[in-house]
Structure 1
Amino acid sequence: MFIQDMKLLAAPYWSAQGRSRAWFTLTLAMLAVAGIIAIQVRWNEWSLGFYNALQNLDAAAFGYHVVELLLLDVAFIACTMAKFQIQQRLLINWRERLTQEFLGKWVDSQRYYRSRFHSVTYDNPDQRIAEDCRIFVEQTLELGLNLLQAVILVVLFSFIMWRISGTLSFEVAGHTMAIPGYMLWLALIYAVIGSGIAHWIGKPLIGLNFMQQRREADFRFGLTRLREDAEVVALSRAQGLESKQLLAQLGLLLSNYARLVRSKKHLLGINAAYERFAFTLPLLLVSPRFFSREIQLGQLTQIASAFGEIQASLSFLIRSYPQIAEWRATRTRLCSFWRELDALPPPVDPVVRSTAGLKLRDFAPLDTQGKPLFAPITLTLREGERLLVRGPSGVGKTTLIRSLAGLWPAHQGIAELDRDGLLILPQTVYLPHGTLHELLTWSDDPARVFNEEAVIEVLHIAGLDHLALHTQGNWSRSLSPGEQQRLALARALLLRPSLLILDEATSGLDTQAEQRLYEALIDRGITLVSIGHRESLSQFHTHALDIKSNQGVGLTENQPA
Structure 2
Amino acid sequence: MRSFNMSQKGRKKSPIFSIFGARNHDGSNPDRHESLRLCESVRAFFKIALPYWKTRASIPGWIQFIGILVFTAATIVLAKMFNDWYKEFWDNVQSYNMDGFYGGLCLFLFLATLHVCNVVYKSYVISALSIRWRKWLTSYYTHRYLNESTYYRLQLTEQKTDNPDQRIAEDLNSFVTLTIGIIVRLITSSAMLVTFAIILWGLSERVENVSVAGYTFSLPDGYLFYLALIYAVCGTLITFIIGKPLALLHFRQQRFEADYRYSLIRLRENSEAVALYKGESEEKERLTGYFGDVVKNYIYLINRTKALEFFTFGCDQLAVIFPILVASPLYFAKMITIGSLMQINSAFGQVYNSLSVIMSLFPELATWKAVIDRLALFEKSMDRALQLPKPQVVYEGNDLELDKLSITKPDGTPLIDDLSLVLRAGDRLLIKGPSGVGKSTLLRAVAGIWPYSKGKVRLPEGKKVLFLSQKPYMPMGTLAQTICYPSPVSDDDGYLEKLLSGVGLEYLVPNLNTEDQWSMVLSLGEQQRIAFLRAVINRPDVIFMDEVTSAMDEPNEFKLYEMLKNELKESIIISVGHRSTLEKQHNRILDFSDDSKRKNQINC
**For the superposition of Structure 1 and Structure 2, which TM-score range results when normalised by the shorter chain?**
over 0.9
Sort the Cα spacing of 1:228 and 1:65 in 2 relative to 1 into closer, same or farther, 3 A: same
- TM-superposed CA distance for 1:368, in Å, is 3.0
Q: 2:311 aligns with which of 247, 251, 270?
A: 270
Q: What is the TM-score normalised by the length of structure 1?
A: 0.93
Structure 2 counterpart of 1:382, one-letter code: R
Q: 1:544 aligns with which of 582, 589, 592?
A: 589
SS in 2 for 1:413: strand
Contact 2:407–2:453 (8 Å) recurs in 1: yes
1:191-340 matched pairs, under 5 angstroms: 191-340=232-381
1:384-399 matched pairs, under 5 angstroms: 384-399=426-441
1:12-31 matched pairs, under 5 angstroms: 12-31=51-70
Q: 1:64 aligns with which of 80, 92, 103?
A: 103
Name the residue aligned to 1:529. Answer: 574
- The farther-off stretch of 130-139 and 352-361 is 352-361
Contact 1:374–1:548 (8 Å) recurs in 2: no
- The farther-off stretch of 481-490 and 335-344 is 335-344
RMSD: 2.3
- TM-superposed CA distance for 1:255, in Å, is 2.1
- Aligned mates of 1:31, 1:184 — CA distance in 2: 27
Q: 1:489 aligns with which of 528, 532, 554?
A: 532
**Do structure 1's residue 354 and structure 2's residue 396 form an aligned pair?**
yes
SS in 1 for 2:595: coil
Q: 1:416 aligns with which of 458, 462, 465?
A: 458
- Aligned mates of 1:184, 1:21 — CA distance in 2: 40
1:417-436 matched pairs, under 5 angstroms: 417-418=459-460, 420-436=463-479
- The farther-off stretch of 182-191 and 240-249 is 240-249
- TM-superposed CA distance for 1:443, in Å, is 4.1
- The farther-off stretch of 177-186 and 537-546 is 177-186
Contact 2:391–2:455 (8 Å) recurs in 1: no
SS in 2 for 1:122: coil
Contact 1:423–1:501 (8 Å) recurs in 2: yes
- TM-superposed CA distance for 1:394, in Å, is 1.9
- The farther-off stretch of 148-157 and 225-234 is 225-234
> 1:357-389, CA deviations, whole angstroms, 9 ceiling, x for partnerless residues?
432333332123434214543333221021111
Contact 1:427–1:503 (8 Å) recurs in 2: yes
- TM-superposed CA distance for 1:178, in Å, is 5.1
Structure 2 counterpart of 1:398, one-letter code: S
Q: 2:229 aligns with which of 188, 191, 211?
A: 188
Q: What is the TM-score normalised by the length of structure 2?
A: 0.86
Structure 1 counterpart of 2:220, one-letter code: I
- The farther-off stretch of 389-398 and 449-458 is 449-458
Contact 2:544–2:575 (8 Å) recurs in 1: yes
Structure 2 counterpart of 1:77, one-letter code: V
- TM-superposed CA distance for 1:77, in Å, is 0.9
**Do structure 1's residue 475 and structure 2's residue 518 form an aligned pair?**
yes
Q: 1:458 aligns with which of 484, 496, 499?
A: 499
Contact 1:102–1:338 (8 Å) recurs in 2: no
**Do structure 1's residue 114 and structure 2's residue 153 form an aligned pair?**
yes
Contact 2:269–2:520 (8 Å) recurs in 1: no
> 1:427-457, CA deviations, whole angstroms, 9 ceiling, x for partnerless residues?
101011222332333447x8x9775554444
> 1:145-165, CA deviations, whole angstroms, 9 ceiling, x for partnerless residues?
111111111111111111122
Structure 1 counterpart of 2:158, one-letter code: S
Query: Number of matched residues?
Result: 552
Contact 1:44–1:305 (8 Å) recurs in 2: yes
| Unmatched runs of 5 consecutive residues or more in structure 2 | 1-39, 211-215
- TM-superposed CA distance for 1:519, in Å, is 0.9
- TM-superposed CA distance for 1:251, in Å, is 2.0
> 1:4-28, CA deviations, whole angstroms, 9 ceiling, x for partnerless residues?
3233222342211222211110111
| Unmatched runs of 5 consecutive residues or more in structure 1 | none
SS in 2 for 1:18: helix
Identical amino acids, percent of aligned pairs: 34
Structure 1 counterpart of 2:313, one-letter code: A
Contact 1:364–1:374 (8 Å) recurs in 2: yes
Structure 2 counterpart of 1:472, one-letter code: E
- The farther-off stretch of 251-260 and 135-144 is 251-260
